[in-house]
């Protein structure tokens, strides 16, 4: 079967919903779903890349393991184990006849109550949806994006667990991104409540200084990104020294290169932060971006297990 490329922002025709593949028109959610009102859901963003060997899903197992861990923290009861969810992702990708996609698994509390202890009353629904996604940041994804330091602070992990990818947590990102776009920027950097650099609204951050790569960790109130972990390994493979520790605003200004990592952003260089402009020469960022794009296509012999190949339609 020929693959059907989705136009940018287009949503694929089939969902996986509560255990079965269903056409979009047949999937409905009660207007009183708890997740809709209170953000009581957890999700993942996963990418499938088009390759000559068929669609390659990047680090599927790791994404679904994080999904299961996130669900546990919010007492969402997902009725399927990780291998079953991975198979569902691949099967529905094939059903949609997609060569590449942005894949969005979502588990959320459904209808029953307005109680703020939904796990005692509400069913857990699980949805896997697919859409097109090219460069999240358009041309800036390759050439560099314009970023501002947000007036909004990243929520403290004492308030919400930053390593959990929960729907409600993203209200923080929405405020920061909306402010950034309103002021003419592509993205925001959030500082944590101690004034250290935390992360982007949907990305981890790395700085390069004198050939050394540095990124922070959960102690700076960030999500432990799967792209972040992959880029750290790719750097070590290439003998680029990596330090894990806090990053200050001064470190950003003093850096030779700064880049974001994320499933949507991949490896995106920063062109400037507010009035501070970085050099266009970004040797470390470019090398790691290239290495990452090679790895997601399943072409890095050091990491053959990072890509799961899913043949379209009957080829699965």
Ligand X SMILES: Cc1ncc(COP(=O)(O)O)c(C=O)c1O
What residues line the site for ligand X (CB under 6 A)? 45, 199, 202-204, 223, 225-228, 261-263
Q: Is 89 helix (H, G, I), strand (E, B) or coil?
A: helix
> Rounded to the nearest whole angstrom, what is the least distance from the CB of residue 304 to ligand X in the complex?
20
In the bound state with ligand X, the residue whose beta carbon lies nearer, of 125 and 228, is 228
> Rounded to the nearest whole angstrom, what is the least distance from the CB of residue 96 to ligand X in the complex?
21
> Rounded to the nearest whole angstrom, what is the least distance from the CB of residue 172 to ligand X in the complex?
9
> Rounded to the nearest whole angstrom, what is the least distance from the CB of residue 309 to ligand X in the complex?
20
Per the CB < 8 A criterion, the answer to whether 46 and 55 are in contact is no
Q: Is 154 a catalytic residue?
A: no
In the bound state with ligand X, the residue whose beta carbon lies nearer, of 94 and 172, is 172
In the bound state with ligand X, the residue whose beta carbon lies nearer, of 133 and 271, is 133
* β-bridge mates for residue 105, sequence order: 128
When CB distances to ligand X are compared, the closest residue is 225
- Report the C-alpha gap between 153 and 312 in whole angstroms: 43
The residue annotated as part of the active site, out of 77, 95, 154, 165, is 165
> Rounded to the nearest whole angstrom, what is the least distance from the CB of residue 88 to ligand X in the complex?
19
| Alpha-helical segments (H) within the chain | 34-38, 60-73, 82-95, 140-143, 170-182, 226-237, 249-254, 283-296
CA distances, 53 to each of 56, 86, 263, 273, 315 (Å): 8, 19, 21, 39, 11
CB neighbour class for 18 (10 Å; exposed up to 12, middle 13-18, buried from 19): middle
Of 263, 230, 302, nearest in space to 48 by CA: 263
Half-sphere exposure of 214 (CA within 13 A, CB side): 18
In the bound state with ligand X, the residue whose beta carbon lies nearer, of 110 and 225, is 225
In the bound state with ligand X, the residue whose beta carbon lies nearer, of 124 and 268, is 268
Of 142, 135, 89, nearest in space to 263 by CA: 135
Active-site residue numbers? 165
């Amino acid at each position: 079967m020929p693959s059907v490329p989705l136009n940018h922002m287009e949503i694929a025709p089939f969902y996986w919903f509560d255990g079965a593949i269903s056409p979009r028109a047949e999937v409905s959610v009660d207007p009183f779903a708890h997740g809709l009102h209170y953000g009581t859901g957890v999700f993942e963003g996963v990418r499938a890349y088009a390759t000559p060997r068929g669609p390659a899903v990047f680090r599927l197992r790791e994404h679904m393991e994080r999904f299961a861990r996130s669900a546990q923290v919010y007492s969402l009861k997902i009725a399927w184990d990780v291998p079953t969810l991975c198979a569902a992702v691949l099967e529905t990708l094939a059903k949609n006849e997609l060569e590449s996609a942005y894949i969005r698994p979502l588990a959320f509390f459904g209808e029953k109550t307005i109680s703020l202890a939904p796990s005692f009353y509400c069913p857990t629904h699980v949805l896997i949806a697919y859409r097109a996604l090219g460069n999240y940041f358009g041309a800036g994804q390759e050439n560099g994006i314009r970023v501002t330091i947000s007036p909004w602070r990243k929520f403290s992990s004492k308030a919400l667990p930053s390593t959990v990818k929960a729907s409600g947590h993203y209200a923080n990102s929405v405020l920061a991104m909306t402010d950034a776009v309103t002021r003419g920027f592509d993205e925001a950097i959030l500082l944590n409540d101690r004034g250290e650099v935390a992360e982007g609204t949907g990305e981890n951050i790395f700085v390069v200084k004198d050939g050394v790569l540095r990124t922070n960790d959960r102690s700076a109130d960030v999500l432990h990104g799967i792209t972040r972990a992959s880029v750290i390994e790719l750097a070590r493979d290439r003998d680029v020294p990596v330090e894990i520790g806090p990053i200050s605003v001064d470190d950003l200004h003093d850096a030779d290169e700064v880049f974001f990592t994320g499933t949507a952003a991949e490896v995106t260089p920063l062109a400037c932060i507010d009035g501070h402009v970085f050099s266009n020469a970004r040797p470390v960022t470019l090398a790691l971006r290239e290495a990452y794009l090679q790895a997601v296509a399943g072409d890095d012999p050091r990491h053959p297990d990072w890509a799961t190949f899913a043949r379209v339609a009957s080829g699965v």
